[in-house]
Homo-oligomer: A and B are copies of this chain.
Amino acid sequence: MINRQAVVQTMQSGNIITEQLNGTLIAFGISIQQFNVLRILRGRNGKVANLESITSDMIHRMSNTSRLVNRLVEKGLCKRVICQQNRRKVDISITDAGLDLLRQIDPVVEQKEAELTQKLTKKEMSQLVSLLTKMKSNN
């Protein structure tokens, strides 16, 4: 059944990649999920972000983003300040320590990404990306 194969293969591949990247990041003391939050914050270029906007970039739930940010704050990698315009919101930003850490991690993750995709040509990678994108365009 090709439907099932497509579904199962995609799940397994995703899991393997997640495990591999986590294995790479453990040396830096953060998880892939924390790393993604940091990258999103860096992408804001100094502008603060609230939880909701981070979450929308993550496809994950706010409930978890809240706790991920917690762990990053504990490590001094990002800051959390109650928004004065709307005190329900929280302004989150990356610290210098966070930026430093990302600079160390960047080349290592790039190397790992290259390794994970080494069996594919550039053309095959684009095919893969467009097939996955098409599959996700479900509703």
On chain B, the residues within 8 Å of A113 by CB distance are 1, 3-4, 7
On chain B, the residues within 8 Å of A18 by CB distance are 11, 14
A115 within 8 A of B: yes
CB pair A132–B128 under 8 Å, yes or no, is yes
**Assembly CA distance A114 to B115 (angstroms):** 32
Chain A 104-139 near chain B by CB (<8 Å), digits 1 or 0: 000000100111111110101111110111111110
Please pick, from B6, B13, B118, B136, the residue contacting A16 in the complex, using a CB distance under 8 A.
Answer: B136
Closest approach, in angstroms, between the C-beta of A85 and any C-beta of chain B?
32
Supply 8 further A-B pairs (C-beta < 8 A) apart from A9-B129, A16-B136: A3-B116, A6-B117, A10-B128, A10-B132, A13-B136, A14-B14, A15-B59, A131-B131
